[in-house]
Amino acid sequence: MSHPDGMDATPHASNRRREMQEPGQQEADVGRHVKHEKGAERSARPQLPTSETHPTSIQDGGLKAWLQVLGAWSVFFNTWGILNTFGVYQTYYETGELFTKTSSNISWIGSIQAALVLVLGLVSGPIYDCGYLRALLLLGSFLVVFGHEMLSLCQEFWQVVLAQGFAIGLGGGCLFVPAVAVLPTYFRRDIGLAMGVAASGSSIGGIVYPIVFSQLIRQVGFSWSVRILGFTALTMLALLIFLMEMRVEPSRVRAMVDWSAFKDWPYIVFAFGGMLGFAGLYVGLLFISYFGQATGIVDANLAFYLVPIMNAASVFGRTIPNWLSDKVGPLNVMIPGTFVVATLLFCNLAVRSVGGLVINTLLFGSFSGIFVGLPPVLFVALTDDKTLVGTRIGQGSAILALGVLAGGPGGGGILQSNGEHPDWTGMWIYAGVMMLGAGTTFAAVRFMKVGVSFQARV
């Protein structure tokens, strides 16, 4: 008797077909059956889909996706938020109460810290690809908190370099890649907005940490002030370990370096421009507070508050440009924003009053935020083969780190070049020229992509 669809309905039919198979085919079927049973035993835990099997028609957003944004926000709060606080440490260390070093040497602490956050992506990226998100979050959180607790015990310059520069920097490097890598697997259309909201955590951290530090240091001293900041970081970082979750596991581990990128001229020219931009940016971030106090424009109390003022303004600079980039293209936002930042750095040459310095600091904070939120978006946009996005972001960030190392120590070296008379003019010119070079380079990248078309979205 036959099944209506043309298949034998009796159990003997399958047996007759099995007998007609070749012996080798029967053995292969048995082997597959055994493999299936063994595989079932091994799969004790659920497997994440890979980027190859992951459906493209995913829900863009949702509660779980925005919880990842909250976790990434906490990462930015305790990585770039801490880095953006170093301006108040620079001002405090300049007083000589803890140790006596030149401005250039002191700025190495903050520059090493920031450079490690960017460079470590070369290593933490492949580790993330292997599925070790939670291990990275645990290790990074421990190092950030451990660095603060060790910093509270420091008495010498080299000790501060190890605790604040290396320990906190390495911890931030472990945390930063997950914050950038997780979000694109939950968002497609609104990835710029999601990344901008997450990046705003660095601004809020840059407001909270310096205010807490400046208030506590007068009441409980340096050691306990830093310990309390460490406890604050511990509380917030404990949350993200439970919030963040990998949605898609990459089908293969990314390489540390994509050598083909060095033949991709728009990508490599943009990375070079970003390096110039970060050099100018870090002169402003590290020295704006000390500039106000050392020149007598503001008193010591207001000098500490210049850093949170700058970071408060950057909340808008790290969200609105990213939202706008979804509409008009990230490069079309990056170019004019960079030229505005260059202008503001040059404007410090003419600042002579409290009002002028505060307004310029507000504007600098607003527009400089593009250098935190937009570079990852642009590295993605300039990468045609999206399977290389992780590698391209990692090595691009490592190139940007060279600018961080050139910015703080370079600006500090120029500042101290006249001995007892700080060369503020030379330092601000150096910062402005670096940023001007970045804007020109970004414009060149746009020309490479679309020529002279002013309406192209890129």
Indicate the pLDDT class of residue 6, thresholds 50, 70 and 90: very low
Q: 417: how many CB neighbours lie within 10 A of its CB?
A: 13
Lowest mean pLDDT among 185-199, 277-291, 393-407, 417-431: 185-199
pLDDT beyond 70 at 37: no
| Of residues 400 and 250, more confidently modeled | 400
Residue type, 178: P
User: Quick one: DSSP state of residue 162?
Assistant: I
pLDDT of residue 49: 53
Q: Is the pLDDT higher at 283 or at 240? A: 283
Provide the residue ranges of all domains of the chain, joining segments of one domain with +: 63-450
- How confident is the model at residue 98, as a pLDDT? 93
Query: Contact, 331 vs 381, CB < 8 A?
Result: yes
Calpha distance 443→339 (Å, rounded): 10
DSSP state of 153: T
pLDDT digits (tens, 9 = 90+) for 425-441: 999 999 999 999 999 99
Q: Which residue has the higher pLDDT, 41 or 115?
A: 115
Average pLDDT of 318-333?
Answer: 86
Q: Name the CATH superfamily for 63-450.
A: MFS general substrate transporter like domains (1.20.1250.20)
pLDDT at 91 over 60: yes
**Distance set, CA 377 to CA 173, 190, 212, 410, 447 (Å):** 18, 11, 32, 28, 19
For residue 136 the two structure tokens come to 């990275």
SS (HEC) of 300-369: HHHHHHHHHHHHHHHHHHCCHHHHHHHHHCHHHHHHHHHHHHHHHHHHHHHCCCHHHHHHHHHHHHHHHC
Q: CB atoms < 10 A from the CB of 49, how many? A: 13
C-alpha to C-alpha distance for 91 and 93, rounded to whole angstroms: 6
- For helices 300-317 and 265-294, the axis angle rounded to 10 degrees is 150
Round to whole Å and give the CA distance between 200 and 196: 6
* pLDDT confidence of residue 90: 94
Rounded Cα gap, residues 15 and 11, in angstroms: 7
Task: Check pLDDT > 50 for residue 18.
Answer: no
Cβ atoms of 319 and 197 within 8 Å: the answer is: yes
Average pLDDT value for the chain: 84
Alpha helices by DSSP H, 153-264 = 157-160, 168-182, 191-219, 221-243
Segment 392-412 shows an average pLDDT of: 91
**Residue 449: CB atoms within 10 Å:** 16
Question: Which of the given ranges, 30-39, 125-134, 208-217, 239-248, has the highest pLDDT on average?
Answer: 208-217
Model confidence over 213-231: pLDDT tens digits? Answer: 999 998 999 999 999 999 9
pLDDT tens digits, one per residue of 172-202:
999 987 777 788 888 877 777 888 788 888 8
- pLDDT value of position 10: 45
Higher pLDDT, 316 or 7: 316
